[in-house]
Structure 1
Amino acid sequence: MKVLVWLLAFFAFHPVFSQIFQDEVTANFAYQVKQIDEFIERFNNKENTLIKQYVKKKDTTAQFKREQMIKGLFNASDTSWKKAEILQFIGQVSNTEDPVYLNFFDANWYAEVNCAASYKGKPSTITLILKIQREKNGMSKWIVVSAIADFLRLPIRKDTTTGLNPLSHATDFMNIDLLTTDKKNIRNYLPNHYQDEVLSVFLYEAQHNQLVIKQVNKITYHFLQIDGWIFTVNRFSRQTRNSGWLLSKLLPVTVSAKQKYAHEKLNLPDEMCQFQTSYR
């Protein structure tokens, strides 16, 4: 607190330094990627981006190469980036003969929203996976396509030997009560390919006031619509020009690896894990 008071007093009596400080704050704000929409605009090198307006006020002759715009969207504080992969990725999407752009209404990008919640009166967490849905009237909205929480899933099999004996019919299925009493091994009474109906459980618990979402803790955006790649975007809150919503992870992947990622990381149902070889 004393340091802050000293700085304010210093800038008050030294207008030159105060102006420099204010200019740097203004520059940081201009360069900051403030919304995911702005991330998409910069990725596509749109003319109306705020950063271009800011730079052109200072230099009307400034040129903006798409490659440089995309490089500026990477989290520069991460030292684990593989330069060759970044260059390959940027070269692919900025290829002048066959460029790749992002669209807010693309089908295969998702918001992973980690939330603080209350489940049956106890503090808990739940992760919701959302995507954009376009309506027939031209409007759009975010919708929940999956949810991730331990209380939404059936327990993992404890004893694979249990189940309804193949001769149960001979006793008129007199042991059918196991379906409701053997809770730890309930998966043994279901098909091997059964997928948890997490959204159905989510809606049931919410409608019966067992589940209450309190607040959003963290958001990660997953972009899966570019051939051969997956990348994530997170918010980095800091007083630098490289701040805001930035590219936090870049993964070169095959189609099958992308399907696995969608199923295991985002918990998407099988019908949403089918990817084509082109998204242009």
Structure 2
Amino acid sequence: MRFQKPLVVLFVLLISGFGLHAQLLDKEDESRLYAETKQVNQFFRRFNGEENEKGDRYYPKDKQYRSEKLRKKYIGMLFDASNNNIGGDLKVQFAKDVLESAPPAVLEFHGGSWFAEVNTTFTLNGKSETVTLFMEIEKAQVGSKWVISRAHADVFDPYFIRDTTRVGRFMHPMSHELDFMNLRKAFNYTDSIAQFSVRRFRPDHLTLLFYEVKRGNMKFKTVESVKFHFFQVKGWYFEISEFNRSGYNTGWLISNLVKLNNDQERKILQRYLYYEGR
């Protein structure tokens, strides 16, 4: 069977077009792959200017290692572009403080002042409960390891309700003359036992979590989400979260940014993040 010449030409053009289209798609996919910050460690390297766009590492002997030009480019790419709550002026000020401090600010994996917030699901007596675990890097005998530093679970909160709007229950100041025998009465008020604690008492949800797990009442089910909180840049706090979406602005990106004017603001924010000031 012989093809007519116009049909042959059309067939060749179509094949060439498909090939060109495939090449363009490949290049687009490749560019998107380069733009995506796929790992948290890669976020560190890009923030510090320690790799190129293809993910190849730079080392101290390399000319581009931590160059200001490279870092300025990367820092602009490391924000969640869909977040309108982070203003352009704030981003510019942040980048300026990072790059123009002496020495320029870099993120250190073992530098402390950063931690993970891991939202998980446990079952307590068969019922699903949300538990937030806070984790940080700790030195080990060999290298380092992630450890759980704090926890918060709404299911534990009712155990520690303390009514501060009225006097409530208390132990008489002369209780010592009775050898504190009225402790029996205090511990009978199981719904308000926290009112007999010192004012500075703060419940430790991590201890409760370990206790319930040890007793077999609470069982780990799954991890729902993860994000990281950073206080390593002086005068700033930022959060990174993972975004799985199409386009170039994807992967681990800065999802929150706050300018801190003093140590007091830093402490207040840290307490809030740990559910201690809510």
Would the TM-score normalized by the shorter structure come out above 0.5?
Answer: yes
Aligned counterparts of 1:213 and 1:81: Cα–Cα separation in 2: 35
Aligned equivalent of 2:229, options 198, 214, 222: 222
CA contact (8 A) 1:160 1:188 kept: no
- Once residues 226 and 15 of structure 2 are traced to their aligned partners in structure 1, the CA distance between those partners, rounded to angstroms, is 37
Distance 1:96 1:258, change over 3 A: closer
Question: Could you tell me which residue of structure 1 aligns to residue 98 of structure 2?
Answer: 93
Identify if the C-alpha distance between structure 1 residues 12 and 36 changes in structure 2 by more than 3 Å, giving closer, same or farther: farther
Show the counterpart of 1:81: 86
**Residue matched to 1:27:** 31
CA offsets 1:166-216 (integer angstroms, 9 cap, x no match): 233454444322343212222211111112122221211111111112111
Match of 1:104, SS? Answer: coil
Partner SS, residue 66 of structure 1: helix
Q: Are residue 250 (structure 1) and residue 253 (structure 2) matched? A: no
Spell out the pairing of 1:37-52 with structure 2 (5 A cutoff): 37-46=41-50, 48-49=51-52, 51=54
Is the aligned partner of 1:175 residue 2:182? yes
SS at match of 1:234: strand
Question: Which ranges of structure 1 fall in alignment gaps of 5 or more residues?
Answer: 1-9, 55-60, 269-280
CA apart distance, 1:98: 2.2
Distance 1:23 1:262 in 2: 43
Structure 1 window deviating more from structure 2 (218-227 vs 157-166): it is: 157-166
Q: Which amino acid aligns with 2:270?
A: A
User: Which residue of structure 2 aligns with residue 18 of structure 1?
Assistant: 22
Distance 1:80 1:198 in 2: 32
**Number of the residue aligned with 1:275:** none
Counterpart secondary structure, 2:33? helix
1:68 corresponds to which residue? 73
Identity %: 26
Q: Deviations over 1:5-28 (max 9, x none)?
A: xxxxx9998232222222212221
Question: What do you get for the CA RMSD once the two structures are aligned?
Answer: 2.7
Unaligned runs of 5+ in 2: 1-13, 58-63
Pair 1:146–1:68, CA change in 2 (3 A)? same
Q: Which residues in structure 2 correspond to 1:127-276 (within 5 Å)?
A: 127-137=132-142, 139-153=143-157, 154-158=159-163, 160-253=167-260, 254-267=262-275
| TM-score normalized with structure 1 length | 0.81
Q: Which has the larger radius of gyration?
A: 2
258 and 49 in structure 1: CA distance in 2 versus 1, 3 angstrom threshold:
same
Check the 8 A contact 1:116/1:213 in 2, yes or no: yes
Q: Give, as a single letter, the amino acid of the residue that structure 1 aligns with 2:205.
A: V
**1:127-167 Cα distance to aligned partner (Å, 9 max, x none):** 00000111243x11100000010234432214642122223
Once the two structures are TM-superposed, the CA of residue 236 in structure 1 deviates from its matched residue by 0.7
1:11 and 1:18 in contact (8 A); partners too = no
Aligned residue-pair number: 251
Which stretch shows the higher mean deviation, 76-85 or 98-107? 76-85
Using the size of structure 2 for normalisation, the TM-score is 0.82
- 8 Å contact kept, 1:224–1:230: yes
Tell me the equivalent position of 1:5. none
Distance apart, 1:255 and its partner CA: 1.0
Matching residue of 1:120: 125
Q: Which runs of 4+ in 1 moved over 6 A?
A: 10-13
